[in-house]
């Protein structure tokens, strides 16, 4: 069995999760602070990949990053970057696509914390940043872990967008889900089964771990 697609999937999921953690924590905090029009609209945009068909994102990315016009032409000429058919392109697509899984749990956990927690910290002279890092974050540890794990697992399972903008290049964009599709189409059911079984077991373990970790709380890891 060729392990390259599996490694590539793990690499993509790891990088995406790390990036989203860096983007997600401050963004979720900002979103949790109020309900202004801007916040609501941004949150709607972030959540949309949950319900939007992946083909919509795939199509727009394909058009946006075509070196013939717009952003794609600018990127190609000034930086010599082409996002379509490249690993960074997959990372970009995955960051957009998995963002609700990172933002959602963290934001709702922050909103459920009693406001007195932050107020007490401010009264004791702590800045907003200190309060967030030292008071709020430790109190939502399990939700952050849920967010990380679900983001990772969801990126592993990404398929539609990658199929449209990846170009199926071995070692670059041929991730595990694409390798499975490819072997099924080529009637190589043995290889397809190997990859699928591996992903099945791996995902099962991941989700089980989240449930065990959250066993004291009666809620789905998606919240």
Partner 1 sequence: MLLKINKLYISIFLLTICFISITSVASAQTIKVAAAANLQSVIGVLGKDFKQKTGVTVEPIIGSSGKLVAQISNGAPYDVFLSADMDFPAKLAKNGFTDKPPVVYALGSLIICSTQNIDLKNWTKLIVTDKVSKIAIANAAIAPYGRAAEEALKKMNLLDKVKPKMVYGESVSQVNTYITTGVATLGFTTQSLVMDPANTTKLNWQPIDPKTYAPIQQGMVLLKNKNGNSAPAVKFYQYMLSSSAKSILKKYGYIIP
Task: Give residues in contact with partner 1 (CB under 8 A).
Answer: 62-63, 65-69, 72, 82, 84-85, 163, 165, 167-169, 181-182, 184-187
**CB of 44 within 8 A of CB of 107?**
no
**Whole-number minimum distance, CB 79 to partner 1, in Å?**
13
Rounded CA gap, 67 and 64, in Å? 8
**Whole-number minimum distance, CB 3 to partner 1, in Å?**
19
**Whole-number minimum distance, CB 11 to partner 1, in Å?**
19
**Whole-number minimum distance, CB 113 to partner 1, in Å?**
38
**Whole-number minimum distance, CB 82 to partner 1, in Å?**
7
Token pair in block for residue 145? 């872990």
2 or 213, CB closer to partner 1?
Answer: 2
**CB of 197 within 8 A of CB of 186?**
no
Rounded CA gap, 54 and 162, in Å? 9
Token pair in block for residue 191? 């290889």
Assign 88 to helix, strand or coil. Answer: helix
88 or 186, CB closer to partner 1?
Answer: 186
115 or 187, CB closer to partner 1?
Answer: 187
143 or 173, CB closer to partner 1?
Answer: 173
193 or 203, CB closer to partner 1?
Answer: 193
Measure Cα distances from 122 to 29, 109, 114, 132, 162 in Å.
Answer: 16, 20, 14, 11, 46
């Amino acid at each position: 069995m060729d392990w390259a697609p599996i490694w590539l999937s793990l690499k993509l999921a790891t990088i995406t999760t790390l990036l989203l953690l860096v983007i997600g924590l401050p963004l979720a905090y900002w979103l949790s602070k109020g309900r202004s029009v801007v916040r609501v609209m941004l949150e709607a945009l972030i959540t949309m990949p949950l319900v939007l068909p992946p083909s919509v994102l795939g199509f727009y990315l394909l058009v946006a990053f075509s070196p013939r016009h717009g952003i794609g032409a600018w990127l190609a000429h000034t930086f010599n970057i082409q996002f379509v058919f490249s690993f960074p392109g997959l990372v970009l697509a995955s960051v957009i696509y998995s963002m609700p899984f990172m933002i959602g749990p963290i934001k709702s956990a922050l909103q459920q914390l009693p406001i007195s927690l932050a107020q007490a910290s401010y009264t004791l002279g702590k800045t907003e940043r200190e309060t967030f890092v030292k008071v709020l974050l430790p109190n939502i540890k399990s939700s952050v872990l849920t967010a990380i794990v679900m983001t990772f697992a969801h990126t592993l399972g990404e398929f539609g967008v990658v199929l449209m903008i990846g170009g199926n290049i071995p070692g670059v964009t041929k991730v595990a889900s694409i390798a499975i599709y490819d072997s099924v189409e080529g009637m190589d059911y043995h290889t397809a089964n190997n990859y699928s079984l591996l992903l099945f077991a791996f995902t099962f373990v991941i989700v089980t771990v989240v449930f065990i970790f959250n066993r004291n709380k009666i809620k789905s890891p998606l919240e």
